[in-house]
């Protein structure tokens, strides 16, 4: 299909004053009647979107039925040819089959619960409609069903057995429509808003899951309070409902007043969820809630503007987590994720701007670039205009655009108007793909005590974009004297030229430069440092991100040297010794410092340095370095294992979670040399899932986990989310030569319900995350993935397309692996009836 292009945007010819939906639920034949009050605004045909599986039973204008000659239906488009009055009501009646809908889009069934997913273009599978975000309307919805709980957007108007009416007064785009019906149980609370209104809060789950919904409710209340305190944003309906379902393509969905969640991001108890799960629940509950203002009250004009709501909402949820937990640890975690996912995307065949200018299938653009880089771009804006400028701009954004479907131009304009700053050059962060490479050089004039820092920036070409003019890059630097004191606290340098220098005078001795503090811009920084320099920064930098970065650089340099036949140097081993001996620092920070760079990160680094990465060699050096650390620091590691057991009952808070993270980081190292004895002991004595799953992962990685794997399944076979974990832990941690054979065995396991997105992601995503296992030299990982993508594509194209991203880096490997990957991609592309989703992804990746 021809791509959609940003430049082709045209406003819709009609406005909708009100939408009235009447839905009669039936698993095989649900009936939807829609009355749309339309008024012409511009010239043009009345064109509606309609899903292919929707049976159109009736169309009428102002009550008179249209006959077949009055409309044409082609593909997903319904065009009305009849002459139309200025204002009129268009009525439609359709039949749909939720039970046959396996796509988790439109109206479908999950474990007997009717639910909907309409972003990005799912509303057309429910009723004919202008399914685009700039057509906003208030909705009134009546649901007919015998099921006990019937929910839709907005406020409840009337509830009677077999019937419920809902009214959403806030004009909304169709992608925010939601309906849920089923046998559900709520845990409930209330929230009094800043202006004193009481809001009913409910988290709806399947019967029996109620005792695992408390943390989601607690997170919601904290998010509501935080958005009032930090952004001045108040909730605007009488009720806020969250529903957890088991079959869901992504994490969650911010439908107005009725958020629908993947149950993985709602349900948690100490025995069944890890600290990481709790933290994700807190942040995603907050993220979806924050969309109420950044996404719902102000939405996107078109899907090219997706980063307008997603980048900003990710930025806001990151701020929230920083406030709830440790800001330093959160920043490091976010950078690790950004580099692993977004840098990889920016450096490969799927690179695209934060605001893309064309797409074939919009669902393929819910990417790390739009979300995570979109958030980084906002972080840079905030750095450039300062906290006060940011607050003024946001106030103006909410005031000026409430009720609008807005664009990135609107967004930048409020910053320009609120702060007086010209953002023409800054806009390149939205329009230009690729990660800038910034090279920093130092010139020290000892005679005059002057240090000159020279920066050059260059952004590599990306598909369809070769010309990359310089961008504005906020570069946070500090200077540290040889005795470790900070001689110059953080300064924000603004690099806006291809080459640029900055002078620092009056220095008594040559300082060490701490650069890109707090990861002030999403760039790759290149500079020359010795291991001794890195160790110095790791010991003395006051900026926690830069400190961690120096340690990670040291680890990375050590591993890269080992790949060239070197041995771990004394600086790194001594630095790890200091980490293990540090009793003052935040344990969560220390845990991050102990974590070795991932295999994927090393492959990326090898390839950037012009080498062909060898997955087996990368696996081997990581194992070797872990063993060397364990042998060198055995006594300290044992001490860490005993000193990091939190006192008191389990709590998912940052303090306890940090201790457990440190304990598991130490365990991962000692398991390399003790044959799994300590991991088995921790597994056996575990009182919470964090330790149990962490110990199991360590045992599997050591090739010693058979008994624990069987025990884990026995204990948790009835807890769906933990069975997902069981699949994932095995596939992700299996030794490389076992990974694909094991994945094949697991795919034949009776619990492998591959049509369930979580279960599919657990196994297939687990294998893709096993770097050397997935990139097996015989191509078996690629074949396995291709087989499963084709199978799942026929039932759920969004999941197939998303998981195909594992092929993204195929071109960086050796000729044998490349030939296998190419053959697998060609096989996918040659398959008849491939979805638009997977065809676009496989085509772009194949190149």
Q: How far is the CB of 122 from ligand HT7 (least distance, A)?
A: 8
Beta bridge partners of 242: 203, 259
- Looking only at the bridges linking them, the beta strands covering 155-160 and 163-172 are antiparallel
Question: Alpha-carbon dihedral of residues 309, 310, 311, 316, nearest 10 degrees?
Answer: 90
- For 529, the token pair is 């440092």
Q: Which does 366 bind (CB under 5 to 8 A by kind): Zn ion, ligand HT7, none?
A: ligand HT7
Please answer whether residues 268 and 652 qualify as being in contact, where contact means their C-beta atoms are separated by less than 8 angstroms: yes
Q: Which does 840 bind (CB under 5 to 8 A by kind): ligand HT7, Zn ion, none?
A: none
Q: Which is nearer to ligand HT7, 46 or 314 (CB)?
A: 314
Rg (CA), the chain: 27
Q: Which is nearer to Zn ion, 313 or 514 (CB)?
A: 313
Please answer whether residues 321 and 329 qualify as being in contact, where contact means their C-beta atoms are separated by less than 8 angstroms: no
Q: Which does 117 bind (CB under 5 to 8 A by kind): Zn ion, ligand HT7, none?
A: ligand HT7
Q: How far is the CB of 8 from ligand HT7 (least distance, A)?
A: 22
- Rounded-to-integer distance, Cα 799 and Cα 234, Å: 35
CA dist 260 → 25, 116, 242, 289 (Å) = 18, 8, 6, 11
Q: How far is the CB of 145 from ligand HT7 (least distance, A)?
A: 23
- Rounded-to-integer distance, Cα 725 and Cα 476, Å: 40
Upstream peptide bond of 120 is cis (omega within 30 degrees of 0) = yes
Closest CA to 289 of 319, 249, 316: 316
Please answer whether residues 515 and 477 qualify as being in contact, where contact means their C-beta atoms are separated by less than 8 angstroms: yes
Task: Please identify every residue annotated as catalytic.
Answer: 288
Backbone phi and psi for residue 474, each to the nearest 5 degrees, phi listed first: -75, 120
Q: Which is nearer to Zn ion, 275 or 310 (CB)?
A: 310
Residue identified by tokens 């800054």 is 426
Residues in touch with ligand HT7 (CB under 6 A): 117, 119-120, 249-250, 252-254, 287-288, 291, 310, 366
Q: How far is the CB of 462 from Zn ion (least distance, A)?
A: 24
Please answer whether residues 307 and 368 qualify as being in contact, where contact means their C-beta atoms are separated by less than 8 angstroms: no
Q: Helix, strand, coil: what percent of the chain each, to 5?
A: 45, 20, 30
- Looking only at the bridges linking them, the beta strands covering 163-172 and 137-144 are antiparallel
Q: Which is nearer to ligand HT7, 249 or 680 (CB)?
A: 249
Please answer whether residues 61 and 133 qualify as being in contact, where contact means their C-beta atoms are separated by less than 8 angstroms: no
- For 605, the token pair is 């680094």
Q: Supply the DSSP symbol for 343.
A: I
Please answer whether residues 792 and 775 qualify as being in contact, where contact means their C-beta atoms are separated by less than 8 angstroms: no
Q: How far is the CB of 550 from Zn ion (least distance, A)?
A: 33
- Looking only at the bridges linking them, the beta strands covering 30-40 and 106-110 are unpaired
Q: How far is the CB of 184 from ligand HT7 (least distance, A)?
A: 19
Q: Which does 789 bind (CB under 5 to 8 A by kind): Zn ion, ligand HT7, none?
A: none
Residues in touch with Zn ion (CB under 5 A): 310, 313
Q: Which does 253 bind (CB under 5 to 8 A by kind): Zn ion, ligand HT7, none?
A: ligand HT7
Q: Which is nearer to Zn ion, 373 or 817 (CB)?
A: 373
Q: Which is nearer to ligand HT7, 367 or 558 (CB)?
A: 367
Q: How far is the CB of 313 from Zn ion (least distance, A)?
A: 5
Q: How far is the CB of 372 from ligand HT7 (least distance, A)?
A: 11
Q: Which does 361 bind (CB under 5 to 8 A by kind): ligand HT7, Zn ion, none?
A: none
Contact residues for 178 (Cβ-Cβ < 8 A; gap 6+): 115, 116, 118, 151, 152, 153, 253, 255, 256, 258, 260
Residue whose CB is nearest to ligand HT7 in the complex, by number: 250
Q: Which does 324 bind (CB under 5 to 8 A by kind): ligand HT7, Zn ion, none?
A: none
Please answer whether residues 675 and 636 qualify as being in contact, where contact means their C-beta atoms are separated by less than 8 angstroms: no
Q: Which is nearer to ligand HT7, 201 or 253 (CB)?
A: 253
Q: Which is nearer to Zn ion, 313 or 342 (CB)?
A: 313
Q: Which does 165 bind (CB under 5 to 8 A by kind): ligand HT7, Zn ion, none?
A: none
DSSP character string of 750-786: TT--TTSHHHHIIIIIHHHHSHHHHT-TTSHHHHHHH
Q: Which does 249 bind (CB under 5 to 8 A by kind): ligand HT7, Zn ion, none?
A: ligand HT7
Q: How far is the CB of 758 from ligand HT7 (least distance, A)?
A: 13
- Rounded-to-integer distance, Cα 717 and Cα 596, Å: 32
Q: How far is the CB of 617 from ligand HT7 (least distance, A)?
A: 38
Q: Which is nearer to ligand HT7, 120 or 186 (CB)?
A: 120
Please answer whether residues 596 and 576 qualify as being in contact, where contact means their C-beta atoms are separated by less than 8 angstroms: no
Q: Which is nearer to ligand HT7, 314 or 559 (CB)?
A: 314
Q: Which is nearer to ligand HT7, 51 or 705 (CB)?
A: 51
Q: Which does 333 bind (CB under 5 to 8 A by kind): Zn ion, ligand HT7, none?
A: none
Q: How far is the CB of 310 from Zn ion (least distance, A)?
A: 5
**How far apart are the two ends of the chain, measured CA to CA in Å?**
17
Q: Which does 334 bind (CB under 5 to 8 A by kind): ligand HT7, Zn ion, none?
A: none
- Rounded-to-integer distance, Cα 113 and Cα 126, Å: 16
- For 709, the token pair is 């794997």
Q: Which does 732 bind (CB under 5 to 8 A by kind): Zn ion, ligand HT7, none?
A: none
Q: How far is the CB of 290 from Zn ion (least distance, A)?
A: 8
Q: How far is the CB of 118 from ligand HT7 (least distance, A)?
A: 9
Task: Give the number of other Cβ atoms within 10 Å of residue 193's Cβ.
Answer: 15
Closest CA to 100 of 132, 138, 52: 52
Q: Which is nearer to ligand HT7, 604 or 837 (CB)?
A: 837
DSSP character string of 98-153: GGG--SSSEEEEETTEEEEE-TTTTGGGTS-B--STT--EEEEEEEE-SSSEEEES
Q: Which does 809 bind (CB under 5 to 8 A by kind): Zn ion, ligand HT7, none?
A: none
Task: Give the number of other Cβ atoms within 10 Å of residue 439's Cβ.
Answer: 15
Q: Supply the DSSP symbol for 498.
A: S
Q: Which is nearer to ligand HT7, 363 or 558 (CB)?
A: 363
CA dist 148 → 2, 160, 163 (Å) = 45, 10, 9
């Amino acid at each position: 299909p021809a791509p959609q292009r940003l430049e082709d945007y045209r406003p819709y010819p009609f406005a909708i004053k009100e939408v009235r939906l009447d839905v009669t639920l039936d698993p095989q034949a649900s009936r939807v009647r829609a009355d749309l009050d339309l008024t012409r605004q511009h010239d043009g045909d009345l064109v509606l979107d309609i899903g292919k599986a929707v049976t159109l039973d009736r169309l009428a204008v102002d009550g008179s039925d249209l006959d077949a000659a009055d409309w044409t239906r082609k593909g997903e488009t319904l065009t009305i040819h009849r002459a139309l009055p200025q204002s009129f009501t268009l009525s439609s009646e359709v039949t749909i089959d939720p039970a046959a809908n396996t796509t988790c889009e439109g109206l479908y069934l999950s474990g007997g619960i009717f639910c909907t997913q309409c972003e990005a273009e799912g509303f057309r599978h429910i009723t004919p409609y202008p399914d685009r975000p700039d057509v906003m309307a208030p909705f009134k919805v009546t649901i007919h069903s015998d099921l006990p709980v019937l929910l839709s957007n907005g406020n409840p108007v009337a509830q009677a057995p077999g019937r419920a009416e809902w009214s959403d007064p806030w004009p909304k785009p169709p992608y925010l429509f939601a309906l849920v019906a089923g046998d559900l149980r709520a845990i409930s609370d209330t929230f009094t808003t800043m202006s004193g209104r009481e809001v009913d809060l409910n988290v709806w789950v399947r019967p029996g899951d109620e005792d695992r919904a408390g943390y989601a409710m607690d997170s919601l209340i904290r998010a509501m309070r935080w958005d009032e305190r930090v952004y001045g944003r108040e909730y605007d309906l009488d009720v806020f409902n969250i529903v957890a379902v088991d079959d869901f393509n992504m994490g969650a969905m911010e439908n107005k007043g009725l958020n629908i969640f993947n149950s993985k991001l709602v349900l948690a108890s100490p025995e069944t969820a890890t600290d990481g799960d709790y933290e994700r629940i807190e942040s995603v509950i907050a993220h979806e809630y924050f969309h109420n203002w950044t996404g719902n009250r102000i939405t996107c004009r078109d899907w090219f503007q997706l980063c307008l709501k997603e980048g900003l909402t990710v930025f806001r949820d990151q701020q929230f987590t920083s406030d709830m937990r440790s800001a330093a640890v959160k920043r490091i975690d976010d950078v690790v994720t950004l580099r692993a996912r977004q840098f990889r995307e920016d450096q490969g065949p799927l690179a695209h701007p934060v605001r893309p200018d064309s797409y074939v299938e919009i669902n393929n653009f819910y990417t790390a670039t739009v979300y995570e880089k979109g958030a980084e771009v906002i972080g840079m804006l905030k750095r450039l205009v300062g906290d006060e400028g940011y607050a003024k701009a946001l106030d103006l954004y909410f005031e000026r655009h409430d009720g609008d479907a807005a664009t990135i131009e609107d967004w930048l304009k409020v910053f320009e108007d609120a702060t007086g700053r010209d953002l023409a050059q800054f806009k390149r962060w939205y329009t230009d793909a690729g990660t800038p490479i910034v090279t920093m050089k130092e010139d020290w004039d000892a005679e005059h005590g002057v240090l000159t820092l020279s920066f050059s920036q260059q952004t590599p070409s990306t598909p369809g974009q070769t010309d990359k003019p310089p961008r504005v890059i906020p570069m946070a630097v500090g200077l540290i004297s040889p005795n470790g004191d900070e001689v110059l606290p953080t300064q924000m340098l603004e690099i806006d030229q291809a080459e640029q220098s900055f002078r620092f005078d009056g220095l008594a001795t040559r300082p060490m430069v701490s650069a890109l503090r707090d990861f002030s811009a999403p760039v790759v920084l290149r500079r020359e440092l010795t291991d001794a320099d890195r160790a110095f920064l790791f010991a003395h930098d006051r900026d926690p991100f830069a400190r961690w970065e120096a340690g990670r650089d040291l680890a990375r340099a050590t591993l890269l040297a080992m790949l060239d036949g070197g041995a771990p140097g004394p600086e790194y081993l001594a630095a790890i010794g200091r980490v293990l001996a540090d009793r003052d620092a935040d344990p969560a920070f220390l845990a991050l410092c102990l974590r070795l760079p991932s295999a994927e990160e090393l492959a990326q680094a090898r390839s950037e340095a012009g080498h062909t990465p060898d997955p087996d060699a990368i696996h081997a050096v990581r194992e070797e370095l872990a063993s060397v650390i364990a042998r060198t620091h055995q006594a300290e590691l044992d001490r860490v294992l005993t000193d990091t057991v939190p006192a008191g009952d389990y709590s998912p808070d940052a303090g306890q979670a940090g201790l457990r993270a440190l304990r598991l980081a130490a365990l991962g190292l000692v398991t390399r040399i003790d044959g799994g004895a300590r991991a088995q002991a921790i597994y056996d004595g575990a009182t919470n899932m964090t330790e149990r799953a962490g110990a199991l992962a360590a045992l599997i990685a050591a090739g010693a986990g058979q008994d624990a794997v069987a025990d884990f399944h026995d204990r948790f076979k009835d807890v769906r989310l933990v069975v997902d974990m069981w699949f994932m832990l095995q596939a992700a941690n299996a030794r490389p030569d076992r990974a694909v054979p094991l994945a094949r065995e697991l795919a034949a396991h009776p619990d492998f319900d591959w049509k369930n997105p979580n279960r599919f992601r657990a196994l297939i995503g687990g294998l893709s995350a096993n770097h050397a296992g997935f990139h097996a030299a015989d191509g078996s990982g690629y074949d396995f993935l291709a087989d499963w993508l084709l199978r799942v594509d026929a039932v759920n194209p969004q999941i197939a397309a998303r998981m195909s991203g594992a092929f993204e880096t195929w071109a960086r490997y050796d000729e044998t692996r490349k030939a296998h990957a190419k053959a697998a991609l060609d096989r996918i592309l040659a398959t008849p009836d491939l979805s638009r989703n997977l065809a676009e992804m496989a085509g772009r990746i194949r190149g």
